[in-house]
Structure 1
Amino acid sequence: MADTLATTPLYDVHEALGARMMPFGGFDMPVQYSGIIAEHEAVRNNAGLFDVSHMGEVDVTGPQAEAFVQHLVTNDVSALYDGKALYTAMCTPEGGIIDDLLVYRRAANHFLLVINAGNRAEDWRWMQENNPMGATLTNRSDEYALLALQGPKALDIARPFVGPALDELRFYHFIEMNDGSFIDCDRAIISRTGYTGEPGLELYVPPEDAALVWNTLLEAGADDGLLPAGLGARDTLRMEAGFCLHGNDISKETNPYEAGLGWIVKLEAGDFIGREALRAVKEEGPHRKLVAFVAQERGIPRAGDELIDADGTVLGPVTSGTQSPTLSSGIGLGYVPNKSIYTDPGTSLSVQGRRTVAVEVAKPPLHK
């Protein structure tokens, strides 16, 4: 499989740890090491270390950098300052979500865009085709390894390597350490971001330094219960937190308002692709809404199942589903008509799959 899939700079490390590998986003990625439940619980209670080097990175530079990024994404890029990041989306002219992404402002004329693995090629084409202002775009995806250190003990584990600056690092902010002081890396971006619902960091380092950083952190966190964690735990963690996964919960057939992401759409921030379509959706109101739910009896919802009401009427698709290690019950995300009788927390629905399972609409994060 590794011969036909791309691999991250940590592939040999995963093999040495006995990771179970699987294809994801065109890469051969670790799905688990010691087990999904153990890794999930480590992140909720202690810390976990993920390899997410399959993500893509694009530099946007030049005097037109900010104008380009604002044209490209739905959120307000002008609100950024050096060292600040934001979560946003790129949309089609019709308002469908091409990808959700992070935008880092490194300088007034320098932004870093972090995109999803499965969308790297499509996103790169879209950026090149929608750059009328002539900003300089550079695909840096092969120049970064990306590690995510997540969990309530993550910052304590990282503190000896980051130093006092970590104590001042706020959520959705980042620092750059380009002097070799972070685990002998010539360059590193230390970001207070993550995809688990827990405190933590995302660490951008050169590919050749990835194994050193990985092994150093695992050794440093051993007494604190730090475990290597794979995509299996990453998925259960993000579902408990209520975070969307592109390709499941959001896509070009989904707009931000119906996905509960209206907060990342700033219609007055400036013109951007899809702005007028999204303005119309906001004014009219989305026809459907993404809701989270918890099973009230034994059963695990799966993507592709259907949400139904008490009469058996199909309301919409389940887009994500799993067994929650924290709740010891099935959980999921799915779309229903945008009416309070279906969307209010506490509403009783059912999931129809291999068998019918009673579920209750709940407000994320589910693990809280």
Structure 2
Amino acid sequence: MPNSNKLPLHDFHKANGARFVPFGGWEMPVQYSSILEEHKAVREAAGLFDVSHMGEVLIHGPEAAAYLDHLLVNAIASAEIGRAIYSPMCLENGGVVDDLIVYRMGAAEFLLCVNAANHAKDLSWMQTQADASGMDVCLEDQSDAYALLALQGPKAADILEVCGFAGIAELKRFRHESRTLAGGATVRICRTGYTGEDGFELFLPVGAADSLASMLLDRGTSYGLRLCGLGARDSLRLEAGLPLYGHELTETISPLEAGLEWTVKLGKSGFVGKSALLKQKEDGLDKRVVHFKLAGRRIAREGAEVIDAAGTTVGSVLSGTHSPILNCPIGSALIEVPALAGGLSVDLRGQREPLELASPPLHLAE
């Protein structure tokens, strides 16, 4: 895979039988055993993902909180220390530059976790907005300093407990705290994830990642833990109705159209994209992202046309896969709002398959 970055744990994955694919400029494990087995492990026990390709940006300074409230659609300045906040980051026209999680580390210090494929674009956009605002804030790209492991599933807390993270089950959803590993390295543990299950994401120094991953795998195997790749990560997030940038969120799909209205705090003072989003809300949406199931066995792939009862194309598929839990094809599509009231089908290479709306397909873990 020429011109692809390798994860710090590349050799660990290779030794454990990973198959690799290029993704976001990285050589990433797509699966180890099978996507089906890995998917079910996360739903029933636990799965360990290496997501060290994600970017980390430290934002600090006297006006860091005010800057992030200006940059992002969600409310950041009012969040308490130790909170994690999911938010889209918008253009002035309401389209999405990226979606990310903000971890409040201190009164004037925040860590942002951004999508790997958008890393360079995000940094440029953030710096442009910082310069234009004139606020006293500093941006530091710390992506090379961190490895990021995601331990997901109903047994995740139990596995961390037997690995020495006493009391970690008490950490609330979308909260984070720091712990010290046996070797002295600091790990930031966050009760967040991208699977629809309970779980944790662990930020730690690159040099400490191999020993922690090995310990988690060794002590977690008896709990049903499996190493998991991108294949299961995608099917899990789609089952749970979670967006993937470049699919359900793009520079032409707004948070409101993507069903993320809960993240858009129109009541706070001016932020990038507010005017466009306010107008969109007042005028009503022309199109909307929806999730669907199919009764047959064929998967609707990205770009497949969605058709109404009159045979008119009213939308297109954004993502599609097979759901191991529902045992049927599932997906998402961007569809004209008036068409949602009638019968819809998807064009699968000339054959129309009735489309059943479901939002989201599965209940998210509390």
* Range of TM-score over shorter length: over 0.9
The answer (yes or no) to whether the contact 1:326–1:367 under 8 Å persists in 2 is: no
CA distance in 1: counterparts of 2:216 and 2:358, whole angstroms: 36
1:363 CA drift (Å)? 2.0
Please report how far the alpha carbon of residue 91 of structure 1 lies from its aligned counterpart in structure 2 after TM superposition: 0.5
d(CA) in 2 for partners of 1:319, 1:367: 21
Q: Which amino acid aligns with 2:21?
A: M
Query: What is the correspondence of 1:144-223 to structure 2 with a 5 Å cutoff?
Result: 144-161=146-163, 163-177=165-179, 180=180, 182-223=181-222
2:137 to 135, 138, 142: 135
2:348 paired residue among 330, 342, 353: 353
User: How far apart are 1:357 and its partner, in Å?
Assistant: 1.8
Aligned position for 2:90: 91
Structure 1 residue matching 2:120: 3-state secondary structure: helix
Which residue identity does 2:273 align to in structure 1?
A: G
SS at match of 1:78: coil
In the alignment, the residues of structure 2 paired with residue 260 and residue 169 of structure 1 have an alpha-carbon distance, to the nearest angstrom, of: 28
Query: Do the aligned partners of residues 352 and 367 (structure 1) sit closer, same or farther apart at CA in structure 2, a change above 3 Å counting?
Result: farther
Structure 2 counterpart SS, 1:18: coil
Q: Secondary structure at the match of 1:77?
A: coil
Q: 1:47 touches 1:226 (CA, 8 Å); kept in 2?
A: yes
TM-score, length-normalised on structure 2? 0.95
Deviations 1:33-83 (A, max 9, x none): 001000000001010000000000000111011011111100011231110
Q: Structure 1 segments of 4 or more deviating over 6 A?
A: none
Contact 1:197 1:237 in 2 (8 A): yes
Taking only the aligned residue pairs, the percentage that are identical comes to 46
Cα distance per residue 1:139-161 (max 9 Å; x no partner): 00111100000011111101233
Write the deviation string for residues 3-30 of structure 1: whole angstroms up to 9, x where unpaired.
5201111111111112110000000000
Tell me which residue corresponds to 1:301.
300
* Alignment partners' CA distance in 1, 2:90 and 2:298: 35
Q: 1:162 to 1:271 in 2, by over 3 A?
A: farther
SS in 2 for 1:94: coil
Q: Tell which deviates more after alignment, 211-220 or 158-167.
A: 158-167
8 Å CA contact retained: 1:49, 1:228? yes
Q: Say if 1:185 and 1:206, in contact at 8 Å, map to a contact too.
A: no
In terms of mean alpha carbon deviation, does 7-16 or 190-199 score higher? 7-16
Cα 1:292–1:130, aligned 2, differ >3 Å: closer, same or farther? same
Q: What whole-Å deviation, never above 9, does each CA across 1:104-146 have from its counterpart, x for those lacking one?
A: 1100010011100100000000111110213011000111100
Do 1:91 and 1:274's aligned partners in 2 also have CA atoms closer than 8 Å?
yes
Give yes or no for contact 1:185–1:205 (8 Å, CA) kept in 2.
no
1:342 maps to 2:340: yes
2:269 aligns with: 270
Compared with structure 1, are the counterparts of its residues 136 and 194 closer, same or farther at alpha carbon in structure 2 (3 Å cutoff)?
Answer: same
Structure 2, gaps ≥5 residues long: none
SS in 2 for 1:203: strand
Partners of 1:147 and 1:252 lie apart in 2 by: 28
Distance 1:165 1:82, change over 3 A: farther
- Residue 348 of structure 1 and its aligned partner are, at CA, apart by 4.1
Please tell me whether the aligned partners of residues 327 and 367 of structure 1 are also in contact (alpha carbons under 8 angstroms): no
Contact 2:292 2:361 (8 Å CA) reproduced: no
Judge conservation of contact 1:145–1:210 (CA < 8 Å) in 2. yes
Aligned to 1:366: 362
Contact 1:70 1:272 in 2 (8 A): yes
Q: Is the 8 A contact 2:152 2:198 kept in 1?
A: yes
| Distance in 1 separating the partners of 2:266 and 2:87 | 13
Give the Cα–Cα distance (whole angstroms) in 1 for the partners of residues 163 and 223 of structure 2: 16
Partner of 1:271, secondary structure, is coil
Alignment check: 8 A CA contact 2:5 2:26 kept: yes
* Distance in structure 2 (CA, Å) of the matches to 1:362 and 1:328: 14
CA-atom RMSD in angstroms: 1.4
Distance in 2 (CA, whole Å) between partners of 1:183 and 1:214 is: 14
Which residue of 2 is the match for residue 320 of structure 1?
Answer: 319
Cα distance in 1 for residues equivalent to 2:295 and 2:354: 5
Q: Distance in 2 between matches of 1:326 and 1:170?
A: 26
Tell me the distance in 2 between the aligned counterparts of 1:184 and 1:272.
43
1:173-230 CA distance string (max 9 Å, x none):
00012xx3x3535111100000000000000011111111111000111111100000
State the Cα distance separating 1:359 from its structure 2 match.
Answer: 1.8
Unaligned runs of 5+ in 1: none
Once the two structures are superposed, residues 217-264 of structure 1 have per-residue CA deviations (whole angstroms, 9 ceiling, x without a partner) of: 001111111000000000000000000100111110111111101110
- Cα separation, 2, equivalents of 1:314 and 1:158: 49
Query: How many residues in Structure 1 have an aligned counterpart in Structure 2?
Result: 360
- Superimposed CA distance per residue, residues 298-317 of structure 1 (whole angstroms, 9 cap, x where no aligned partner): 21111111111122211111
**Aligned AA for 1:257?**
L
Letter paired with 2:258:
A
- Contact 2:127–2:139 under 8 Å retained in 1: yes
- What amino acid is aligned across from residue 171 of structure 1 in structure 2? R
